[in-house]
Structure 1
Amino acid sequence: MIMVLLNVYLALLFILVKLGIIRFNLFWKSSPAIVFVLLLVGLFIPMNWGAPQGPALVARHSVAIVPDVAGEVIDVPVQANQPLKAGDVLFRIDPVPFEAQVKAIEAQLQFQELRFEQTMQLQTRGVGRSLDVEQHRAEVGQLKAQLDAARWNLDKTVVRAPADGYVTNLALRKGARVASLPLAPVMAFIDTSETVVGVEIDQIDARYLAPGQPVELTFKMRPGTVQNGKVEGVLQAIATGQAQASGLAVAPKAIASAPFVVRVKLDDDAFARSLPAGSTGQAAIFTEEVKPTHLIRKVLLRQIAITNYVNPF
């Protein structure tokens, strides 16, 4: 854009010289360099503060699916990358061992409840001990708790989608044996109920960023279009500034000014949901500072949107 403005000035200068309106002396010969410096210092450098621009990335939460019970898989009704609703069945584990456990505890509970009623009747007649009553009462309560746990395990033999989304890289098949180990997930579930758009802004340009500021974005997979949004927040930590518990002394490392990440929410929710995770683009954030530069940034962003038709990088 700075070259476009400079070329416009050169064309205007050429016309004025040809028409004899100005004399092409030393001042006018050096004026293009002066105009270039004025544009750079007075417009384009401040534009990075008032309307910073940076790469944008669409991300979604990934849930590692780990069953709560172990067993043999008897059914996998889902297909990879097919939309699912929260509560849809992902796979089923053989319920027979868990049903048997529920029935066994129910039988024990029925017997203990009968014994509890008998000891209560004996105590009422004055021939029973209160200690026996309390003992059977405790046994009944313990079996009820065990029955609740057994029913919970039986219910967990059907593994369901935790949210709206889809399963990706599906390799689980009928006959496989799964375990309830957190380090052994059997599926990767992509949650599409929320779309996260992050924008990287260089630290030198992030001084005026604040939640609620308007944002314009253009994405590679939707060339020629510009979407609107707002800043949800500026993340207050990045990995290079994170201190972790360790038994070692501080390990010096090269310090670099890594960009900050700004979280953005698109105004068009349907458009946001249509973007695959990993979609990239460019975004411009319009702060309350240096407002005259906002128009230049809007033009530059639309140029990028048009070049997205042919520019794969």
Structure 2
Amino acid sequence: MAVAILNTYLVLLFLLVHFGLVRFNLFWKASPAIVMVLVLLGLLIPMGWGAPQGTALVVRNAVSIVPDVAGEVTDVPVAANAPLKSGDVLFKIDPTPYAAQVKAIDAQYKLARTRLGQMTELYQRDAGRGFDVEQRQSEADQLSGQLEAAQWNLDKTVVRAPADGYVTNLALRKGARVANLPLSPVMAFIDTSNTIIGVEINQIDARYIAPGQEVEATFKFAPGQIFTGRVESVLQAISPGQAQISGTAVLPKTIEAAPFIVRVRLDDAEFARRLPAGSAGTAAIYTDRLIPTHVVRRVLLRQVAILNYVNPF
């Protein structure tokens, strides 16, 4: 933008000198440098405070799918990168041992309930002891809890999608054996129910940003288009500001003015849902300060949107 303004001024100055409207004296010779300084101090530098711009990135929550029970996989009905709804079946585990466990505990539970009824009836007729009733009640309660746990294990042989999304990089196949170990996920599930868009803003430009302010963004995925939105929040922590337990003293070289992250939400929810995770772009935030600079930022952002047709970086 500074180059465009300066070139426009130089063309105008050339025409004025050419047609003799101004004398090309020392002042007019130095005027391009003066114009550049005025543009920088009066427009471009304040624009970074009033309408900061930064790189935008689309992020989605990824869930590592780990089954709650171990066993042999009998069916994998999903396809990689195919849309799924919350509760759709991801894969099934052989339920035979868990169904057998439910059947065995259920038989013991029914017998315990029968014995409890018998002991209760004897106690009511003064032909039995209250201790025997309490003992049978305790046995029935324990078996009831075991039956609930066994039924839960049986239900977990069918692994379902935790939210709307899709499975990516699917390698699980029928016949594989899976384990319920936290460090052994069997597939990666990408949650599309909530789109996270973060914008990097330099610390010197982030002072006036607040939730609710207008946002415009353009993405490499959709060149030439501008999408409106609003600021959701300014994240209150970044990695350099995170204190971690260690046995070393602070390393001064690690202290740097890293950008802050501003989370934004697009007005076009359907487009935001279709954006692939990892989509990059550029976003501008229009604060309530230095409003005249907003016009220049809007022009610059539209230039970026057009250049996205040919600029892959």
TM range (shorter): over 0.9
Aligned to 2:101: 101
Aligned to 2:14: 14
Q: Deviations over 1:275-300 (max 9, x none)?
A: 10000000101111111110000000
CA distance in 2, matches of 1:12, 1:273: 48
Q: Deviations over 1:160-217 (max 9, x none)?
A: 0000000001011111111111111001000001111000011111111111111100
> What letter matches 1:87 in structure 2?
G
Aligned to 1:295: 295
Aligned to 1:151: 151
- Structure 2 gaps of 5+ residues are none
CA distance in 1, matches of 2:194, 2:252: 36
Q: How does 1:251-270 map to 2 (within 5 A)?
A: 251-254=250-253, 255-270=255-270
Aligned to 1:187: 187
> What letter matches 2:249 in structure 1?
V
Deviation for aligned residue 1:249: 3.7
CA distance in 1, matches of 2:39, 2:155: 68
Q: TM-score with structure 2 length normalisation?
A: 0.98
CA distance in 2, matches of 1:244, 1:23: 67
CA distance in 2, matches of 1:15, 1:176: 79
Deviation for aligned residue 1:311: 0.6
Q: How does 1:106-125 map to 2 (within 5 A)?
A: 106-125=106-125
Deviation for aligned residue 1:125: 1.1
Aligned to 2:201: 201
249-258 vs 213-222, which moves further? 249-258
> What letter matches 1:187 in structure 2?
M
Aligned to 2:24: 24
CA distance in 1, matches of 2:311, 2:92: 46
Aligned to 1:85: 85
Q: Deviations over 1:252-287 (max 9, x none)?
A: 141111111110100000110111000000010111
CA distance in 1, matches of 2:160, 2:47: 50
Deviation for aligned residue 1:245: 2.8
CA distance in 2, matches of 1:253, 1:58: 32
1:230 and 2:230 correspond: yes
CA distance in 2, matches of 1:245, 1:130: 58
CA distance in 1, matches of 2:38, 2:286: 22
> What letter matches 2:90 in structure 1?
L
> What letter matches 2:251 in structure 1?
P
3-state DSSP of counterpart to 1:209: coil
CA distance in 2, matches of 1:32, 1:235: 42
CA distance in 1, matches of 2:108, 2:249: 60
CA distance in 1, matches of 2:243, 2:39: 42
CA distance in 2, matches of 1:52, 1:154: 55
3-state DSSP of counterpart to 2:56: strand
Q: Deviations over 1:117-159 (max 9, x none)?
A: 1111111111100000001011111111111111111000000
CA distance in 2, matches of 1:36, 1:16: 19
CA distance in 2, matches of 1:285, 1:74: 51
Moved over 3 A (4+): none
Deviation for aligned residue 1:23: 1.4
Q: TM-score with structure 1 length normalisation?
A: 0.98
Q: Deviations over 1:12-64 (max 9, x none)?
A: 21222222222111111111110110001111011011111110000100000
CA distance in 1, matches of 2:235, 2:273: 22
Aligned to 1:176: 176
CA distance in 2, matches of 1:131, 1:40: 91
CA distance in 1, matches of 2:274, 2:252: 41
1:41 and 2:47 correspond: no
Question: Superposition RMSD on alpha carbons, in Å?
Answer: 0.9
Task: Tell me the matched-pair count.
Answer: 312
Identity %: 67
> What letter matches 1:298 in structure 2?
R
- Structure 1 gaps of 5+ residues are none
Aligned to 2:220: 220
